[in-house]
Amino acid sequence: MPSAFPTFNADFEIKSQLIHLLPKFHGLTGENPYLLLQTLYMQCLSMKTIGVSIDDVMWKVFYLSLEGKAKEWYMNIPLYVDNSYESWTSLKKAFLDKYFPSTKILAAHKEILAAKQEPFETFFEFWSRFQEMLSQCTNHQILKEHLVQYFYNGLSTYDAQVLDAVANRFMENMEPRATWELIRTFALNRQHVSARDLRDPKSERDPLLVKLAQDMSKVANTVESLHSNKTQSLALVATSCEFCSSPMHTIANCPGPVEEVNAMYQGREGSISEKGPLLKHPQPQLRDHPNIKWGGGANRPN
């Protein structure tokens, strides 16, 4: 039978008081092997072994964390897994394959995908529960953009709308990591909002929503002010000419009508001059009024 104990290249001593602090794993159905490895890693960091890698430390103390069926598996592992003692990486893989096989990974994926915010569950509580699902299977290999989508799809309509407002409606255009950090920050800011606050209409409003409403009100006032100033500025501009639409003069001073009339009657006697008043010269074909005469003198009645 192959040896149940690996041969370590690095030799170091583990103090007995630290051994008692190591986490324990029995191989029971409800135990999480990923949690054991994470806790063991943190404990090994506190040992402060000099000149030895953290992987070598974990490799050496790993069997001290096993109890019951799990220790039996460790003792017999060379019968089922080849080269399981060659490195900490190979031993860790064999451990996870045994106690968290692909069927559990698939089940964890389905649970994450189907996660839904419960009635009266706060945003922070749902975010915390979602994080626990991820920690149950740290090797889920789900892309960050998919995690963002799964979490957002699981939100209630109200919290999804609030999150959209906080992101200024640009969540779809944000990078996945930036969106995930925004969700994390928003959840931590709302961790003191309880389910009772959501149920009781008389309770204090969410301070974050109050601030958001105030900011939106300021934006609306700014837009209204800009619109008012624009209207006042337009009122100060002189009316454009109704004939040629030029803003440089009004219709009373527009040369357009005179030029058009002269063009129509060019060469005829008595044409209108654009430089003088209308009908400055008398029209010879017109008869004098009995009481009014054309000419340089004053008109006088007969």
> Structural domain boundaries of the chain?
16-100, 118-199
Q: Which carries the bigger pLDDT value, residue 56 or residue 271?
A: 56
In 3-state terms, what secondary structure has residue 200?
A: coil
In 3-state terms, what secondary structure has residue 175?
A: coil
- Tell me whether residue 182 is exposed, middle or buried, using C-beta atoms within 10 angstroms of its C-beta: 0 to 12, 13 to 18, 19 or more: middle
Work out the pLDDT band at 72, boundaries 50, 70, 90: very high
Q: What is the mean pLDDT of residues 270-290?
A: 49
Distance separating alpha carbons of residues 101 and 110, to the nearest angstrom: 15
pTM of the model as a whole: 0.53
Work out the pLDDT band at 4, boundaries 50, 70, 90: low
Is residue 39 left, alpha or beta, with left meaning phi > 0 and alpha meaning psi from -120 to 50?
A: alpha
Q: For the stretch 251-287, what's the b/e string if a residue is b when 16 or more beta carbons lie within 10 angstroms of its beta carbon?
A: eeebeeeeeeeeeeeeeeeeebeeeeeeeeeeeeeee
Q: Does residue 126 carry a pLDDT above 70?
A: yes
Q: What is the mean pLDDT of residues 104-115?
A: 90
Distance separating alpha carbons of residues 14 and 1, to the nearest angstrom: 28
The rounded radius of gyration (Å) of the Cα atoms in the chain is 44
Look at residue 89 in the predicted model and tell me its pLDDT: 87
The letter for the amino acid at 224 is E
Residue found under tokens 């189907």: 114
- As a whole-number percent, the residues of the chain with pLDDT over 70 amount to 61
